[in-house]
Structure 1
Amino acid sequence: MAKSTLEFDKDEGEGGGDLKQVIGRYLPYWPWFLLGVVICLGLGYLYMRYAPVTYESVAKIEIIDESERVDISQNALSLLGQGTSANMENEVQVLRSYRILKQVVESLNLDISYFQVGNIKTTEIWNPPFGVTKLVTEDSLTVSRSFHVSIQGMNAKITDEADRTYSVSLMEPDSLETELPFDITLRPDEEPEEYTSILFRVELTPVKQAVLNLAKKLRVSHVSKNSEILALSIKGESVDRSEAILNELINKFNEDGIRDRQRISKLTLDFIDQRFLSLSQELDSIEVGKEDFKRTNDLSYIESDVDFSLQRRAVAEDEVTQLETQVSLAELLKKAVTAQSSYELLPVDVGLENTGLNSMVSDYNRTVIQREELLSSVGESHPTLIALSAQLQNARVNILKTLNIYQTQLKLSLRQLTREKNRANTVFSRLPEKEKMLRSIERQQDIKENLFILLLQKREEAALSYAVTAPSIKVVDYALTDTEPLSPKKRIVYPMSLMVGLFVPFIVLYLHFTLNGKIQIRGDLARLSPDVPILAEIPTFKKSRKVINSEDRSVLAESFRIATTNLDTLLPEKAEGTGHCILVTSSVKGEGKTTTALNMAQAYASMHHKVLLVGADLRNRELMKYFKPDSFAYGLSEYLSESRVQWKDIIMGGFDNLDYLKVCFGGKMPPNPTQLLSGKGFAQFIERALAEFDIVLIDSPPSLSVADPLLIGKHADATVYLVRSGISDKNMVRHSRELSQKKQLPNMAYVLNDVGSLNSRRYHY
């Protein structure tokens, strides 16, 4: 038998990271993966069936910028600063404010929730067949309460948290008799017989808690960075409920904006009406004075002989009149500012021809409105409110300073114009002093009349703005809900279930392979000892089929034939008539070396090789368990220790009709097995066995237990080292590799025993 240069498993060891090898490692456990996939897909199906189905409803609104509104009431709206651009962040806060959301909760009765109770799944519903009217006040209900309701004919059976049961009529409220915190009545057009087998649950929640819950669910976001369109979204199980909440929120927000504009217009009307009363009295007083002056001084009309001079004087007087009107308006605004006891709105654009002052008053009014909105949601000690109050105080001081400066400028201009008027009046030096006095009275009358007409115009504009309630928002889309639920989603649940079903068994097996420290597959063995070839993999077999026969064509039999065939390539060439000695050992007991040695002997004998199987494990007579112990009187130990025992006494044959197979048992356990195996007698035994047999298979003790295998290895041509899948430790493999590298066990090759994956293979000719 020539030694082959083929190293039949070295490449496999070097390619341990190959994908095919990795797949081959996990493929034997395909039932685990199949079971994991089936279980996870089943759980995914149950989750899809019984998990709460959540939908997302979305509505879009556009905040209307009042500064861009083209309307005949534009001037009236700008009187108190209504024409400023909308602050989008402020609008978002108003939409999410407790005040607005509380109106939505109270309008839709969101503090009362309805559920349909199933055996496993409980679903929130929006329109149950009955209506519930809460009888308790907002302050008296401090915690949520739950009641189960079942319809029984025209009555309802109600069970509270303490399992107390009440029977109430669905036709007439009778809460006073039952002491329930609500009345329940059947909705019109509903047939109670359709709901007799359905169990409902009614939950009463404190209004404050219901508002806070709604605030958590509501999302308000900008559609884009520079857009004035806001997207309102909410998630829930009931599509109708979510859409109703968003639509009602839009209505309440719009109504709130309309009320704000109407309030400002109303304040403007009240202010102008008060000024009308005082101006009317002043004009009446001037008219009476003028009439008395003319009657007393017997005056009627101005003489017409100084027309040219009169025109010059009229121009000067007109300019003086305008300045005095501005002085009066400034004084009027100054009184309105100083008369305020708290932060109130100021009249805007009352006729002052000072753009900066009008802008300061508009900014002041806008801050007042912002402070009032914030005051409705937070306390007076809130930092933002304190900052706004300080801002208003500074603005009021700046307005007064500006008014004082403006009045000073007006007075200077008035003095200049007065001097010019006086120069023009020199031409009238011939006119009687009484005519001058009459002109002074008429000038005062013109000032008051001009102011009266201006305020009358502003009042009409403010009244028009109050009557025309244009919306503060434009509804882009009312609430819409996607037909596909937000969760659970089939396209996510089932793929994830499949992945988890594959991943969990993989992780379990990976941890098993990584942490247990045992040899599992051929690749583990090849990676730890790449320079030692692997003869074959022996599949797991039943105890009743430990030993093969010559007619056996099973996977087990073929595995041993493969092992012997591969072993032949490792055996060195010898002289004609000299056999080969093969040592069979392992690291520890229980790895299958005796069974392997016996089956390899059977495989060699079936190929007509003269085979001697030697039980050299003198401490453990494992080989005799496969035969009849009483049929053999002597063994190897007696042969080596007693001279009277002859060769023929220890060589037995006639097993399974195999004439080519002989067996030498170990015999009785001697007191000194190591001395017997290291002596000349054992060397002579091996020499004679090699002379008479083609193959001498020696079943030796484990290499980690005793030194016997190393002593026997001196006579062996090759070593078959047994490694058992799931039993042999990786450190044992490293130990065997050291023995091979040190040449203590010659021509070592592995046999991987008890490989369960081979059970699935089939061998056919």
Structure 2
Amino acid sequence: MESIRNDNETISLKKIIVNYISHWKLFVAAACFSVIPAVLYLVLYPKTYEIMAKMKIQEDKDLTSSGSMGLGEAAGLMKSFGFGGGSVAGIVLDDEIAMLSSNELLKKTAIRLGLNVTYERPFSFIQLYEDTPLRVIPDSVTQYNLKDGFEFKIKVNSDGSAKLKMKETGEIYSFASLPAQLKTSSGSFDIVCTETSKIQKPFTLNVVVSPAGWTAEDLQEIVQIEEFSKNANTLELSCTDYEKKRAVDLLNTLMEEYNKNTDAIKKDENLKMMKFLDGRVQSVMQDLNGIERTIEAYKISNKMTDMEYDVQFYTDAVKLFREKIIEMEAQGYLIDLLDDFVKDPENKYSIIPPMLSAGEGEKGGAVSSYNEALLEREKLIKSSTTDNPLSEIANNQVDKLRQGVVQSISNMKKSYQLVLEDLKSQEKKIMDKMGNVPTYEREYLDLKRQQEILQGVYLILLQKREEIALASGHGRDKGLILDSAYVKYIPIGPRKLYAAIFMVVFTILIPVGYLFGKEQICSLITEYKNSKHS
């Protein structure tokens, strides 16, 4: 059964193929007819080209970042405040792409090129650009306030007069000559001729005026902006158009408007920063003058010349004694810890930590002897029973040594206390000799420190202001144009391949569809007749 069904299917398929081949004239006719729309497509469809451009996004580096190297401490302050050092925020290409494709930037581009007004000759689907015989120019107010588009037909007669008819309302405007001004409810428009010597009159144009924002939306679909590579700060701009000059102007103007926009943003930020810095510089200068006058008055009232040399000897002596006092106080603290450890009942038979060096003479020897006796006691206890008389002797010996250690520690405390009091006494004598100099020094250093801080801030503000002034004046574009807009050599339309595919599809589908439909209709008619006879 399976083989019979396969044979039937094969026979049926052969029958269909033979049936189609028998109507070969129909296929030939379809092939001949398909040539007509294919040729019309190749002839009438305007040659469309791809236009490319490349632009590198440059970082906003500080031109004078190396200048902070000569400011010493001020350079360090600048880095800590986040002002200097040449640190630069990285470029986010997605943000730059968003700016390039923004409605506002494309709107400015459309207005500058006049792309929001299109011109077509009657029965033509090609929009004129450079070769348009006249232009309709909205005034600045209308350009930005136009909310709805409108269309009209204008006819310029041989004598130079013009007649304009609105498509929606049917309103008619007549002008004795051009240029002329068209005033409507939407706004005011200037109608001007372009190179009148080359215009062949009469002529008729269909003009469509659209809000620049609508045109910007269309341009967002037309202009493609992509990263050139993942490792480069370069963007690749492209678009397709049958009017090569219009596409070239579009990409070049878009890049120029991008640079203008980023430059305006940078200048606005720099202007605000300069205003802030100027105010701060004046304020710091006033504070600096005030502190310098205070220092001058302080020196005069206290009869001071150069305090640093006057007090250098006393300062060094006080520093030396203070170091020794701190050292003695630290040793006294260790002795107190040792005393507390020995007197604690819980540490009765615990080894004393070696807090004092072995070179401390008797004091170090007493502690060492006590620790050795404890070690011997531990060994004896571990190697004998608790009733061993030697254990009792060892305990007595340890107790006596502990008393010696306690007495030794007490002597150490008295000795260190005497030394500490002597050092403090000598320090007091030097301080008495200095009299009021420390007070003067403290007050003078406090004033001097305020002066140095203000000087550092003043240098920071001056350098930052100079950097901003240089950055505002050097005029470097953020977008470096690597390749101005250029037209690729090979057009992308009309495509001969598309025409060939259309011919093949038309040649096959139309005859097959016709024969299949005819067969189905005949089958239905036959069934209808049979059912009627029955």
TM range (shorter): 0.5 to 0.7
Q: Kindly tell me: are residues 18 and 442 of structure 1, through their superposed partners in 2, closer, same or farther at Cα, counting changes over 3 Å?
A: closer
Q: Kindly tell me: are residues 247 and 432 of structure 1, through their superposed partners in 2, closer, same or farther at Cα, counting changes over 3 Å?
A: same
- Determine which structure has greater relative contact order: mean sequence separation of CA pairs < 8 Å that are 6+ residues apart, divided by chain length: 2
For 1:79, the equivalent position in structure 2 comes to 83
For normalisation by structure 2, the TM-score amounts to 0.63
Cα distance in 1 for partners of 2:457, 2:23 equals 99
Cα distance in 1 for partners of 2:432, 2:197 equals 97
8 Å CA contact retained: 1:55, 1:236:
yes
8 Å CA contact retained: 2:163, 2:173:
yes
SS of structure 1 residue aligned to 2:145:
coil
Instruction: After TM superposition, give the deviation of residue 153 of structure 1 in Å.
Output: 4.1
Pair 1:285-2:293 in alignment = no
8 Å CA contact retained: 1:73, 1:465:
no
Q: 2:153 aligns with which of 147, 155, 167?
A: 147
SS of structure 2 residue aligned to 1:253:
helix
SS of structure 2 residue aligned to 1:122:
coil
Q: 2:175 aligns with which of 168, 180, 193?
A: 168
For normalisation by structure 1, the TM-score amounts to 0.45
Cα distance in 2 for partners of 1:91, 1:514 equals 61
For 1:270, the equivalent position in structure 2 comes to 275
Q: Kindly tell me: are residues 449 and 117 of structure 1, through their superposed partners in 2, closer, same or farther at Cα, counting changes over 3 Å?
A: same
Cα distance in 2 for partners of 1:313, 1:167 equals 104
8 Å CA contact retained: 2:146, 2:186:
no
Q: Kindly tell me: are residues 27 and 450 of structure 1, through their superposed partners in 2, closer, same or farther at Cα, counting changes over 3 Å?
A: closer
TM-superposition CA deviations, 1:455-507 (whole Å, max 9, x none): 22222222222222322122232223335444432231144224312331123
Instruction: After TM superposition, give the deviation of residue 42 of structure 1 in Å.
Output: 0.7
For 2:453, the equivalent position in structure 1 comes to 447
Within 5 A, what are the aligned runs for 1:217-256? 217-256=222-261
For 2:33, the equivalent position in structure 1 comes to 39
Instruction: After TM superposition, give the deviation of residue 126 of structure 1 in Å.
Output: 0.9
8 Å CA contact retained: 2:51, 2:485:
yes
TM-superposition CA deviations, 1:233-252 (whole Å, max 9, x none): 33344222222222111111
For 1:183, the equivalent position in structure 2 comes to 190
RMSD value over aligned CA atoms?
Answer: 4.1
SS of structure 2 residue aligned to 1:471:
coil
Instruction: After TM superposition, give the deviation of residue 202 of structure 1 in Å.
Output: 1.5
SS of structure 2 residue aligned to 1:142:
coil
Cα distance in 2 for partners of 1:82, 1:173 equals 57
Structure ranking higher in helix proportion = 2
8 Å CA contact retained: 1:65, 1:85:
yes
TM-superposition CA deviations, 1:394-444 (whole Å, max 9, x none): xxxxxxxxxxxxxxxxxxxxxxxxxxxx99x95982564675344443333
Pair 1:467-2:441 in alignment = no
Cα distance in 1 for partners of 2:433, 2:10 equals 125
Cα distance in 1 for partners of 2:520, 2:238 equals 49
Gaps of 5+ in 1: 1-11, 315-421, 519-725, 732-765
Cα distance in 2 for partners of 1:204, 1:14 equals 63
User: Which piece of structure 1 moves more, 32-41 or 290-299?
Assistant: 290-299
Cα distance in 2 for partners of 1:433, 1:466 equals 50
Cα distance in 2 for partners of 1:467, 1:73 equals 16
Cα distance in 1 for partners of 2:161, 2:264 equals 45
Within 5 A, what are the aligned runs for 1:667-706? none
Gaps of 5+ in 2: 1-6, 69-77, 320-426
8 Å CA contact retained: 1:36, 1:505:
yes
Within 5 A, what are the aligned runs for 1:602-641? none
For 2:125, the equivalent position in structure 1 comes to 122
For 2:162, the equivalent position in structure 1 comes to 156
8 Å CA contact retained: 1:65, 1:86:
yes
SS of structure 2 residue aligned to 1:152:
coil
Instruction: Please tell me the residue identity of whatever aligns with 1:16.
Output: I
TM-superposition CA deviations, 1:184-208 (whole Å, max 9, x none): 222246423xx22543221111233
User: Which piece of structure 1 moves more, 183-192 or 74-83?
Assistant: 74-83
Cα distance in 1 for partners of 2:65, 2:122 equals 56
TM-superposition CA deviations, 1:283-304 (whole Å, max 9, x none): 2212222232333344334374
Q: Kindly tell me: are residues 728 and 247 of structure 1, through their superposed partners in 2, closer, same or farther at Cα, counting changes over 3 Å?
A: same
Cα distance in 1 for partners of 2:195, 2:244 equals 22
Pair 1:60-2:66 in alignment = no
For 1:92, the equivalent position in structure 2 comes to 97
Q: Kindly tell me: are residues 304 and 23 of structure 1, through their superposed partners in 2, closer, same or farther at Cα, counting changes over 3 Å?
A: closer
User: Which piece of structure 1 moves more, 284-293 or 245-254?
Assistant: 284-293
Q: Kindly tell me: are residues 153 and 242 of structure 1, through their superposed partners in 2, closer, same or farther at Cα, counting changes over 3 Å?
A: farther
8 Å CA contact retained: 2:179, 2:193:
no
Instruction: Please tell me the residue identity of whatever aligns with 2:55.
Output: I
For 1:523, the equivalent position in structure 2 comes to none
Within 5 A, what are the aligned runs for 1:24-35? 24-35=18-29
Cα distance in 1 for partners of 2:153, 2:501 equals 39
Cα distance in 2 for partners of 1:728, 1:177 equals 68
TM-superposition CA deviations, 1:549-583 (whole Å, max 9, x none): xxxxxxxxxxxxxxxxxxxxxxxxxxxxxxxxxxx
Instruction: Please tell me the residue identity of whatever aligns with 1:470.
Output: R
8 Å CA contact retained: 1:73, 1:462:
no
Instruction: Please tell me the residue identity of whatever aligns with 1:35.
Output: A
Instruction: Please tell me the residue identity of whatever aligns with 2:149.
Output: V
For 2:135, the equivalent position in structure 1 comes to 131
Between structure 1 and structure 2, the one with the greater Rg is 1
Q: 1:497 aligns with which of 503, 511, 515?
A: 503
Instruction: After TM superposition, give the deviation of residue 124 of structure 1 in Å.
Output: 0.4
Instruction: After TM superposition, give the deviation of residue 41 of structure 1 in Å.
Output: 1.1
Within 5 A, what are the aligned runs for 1:314-325? none
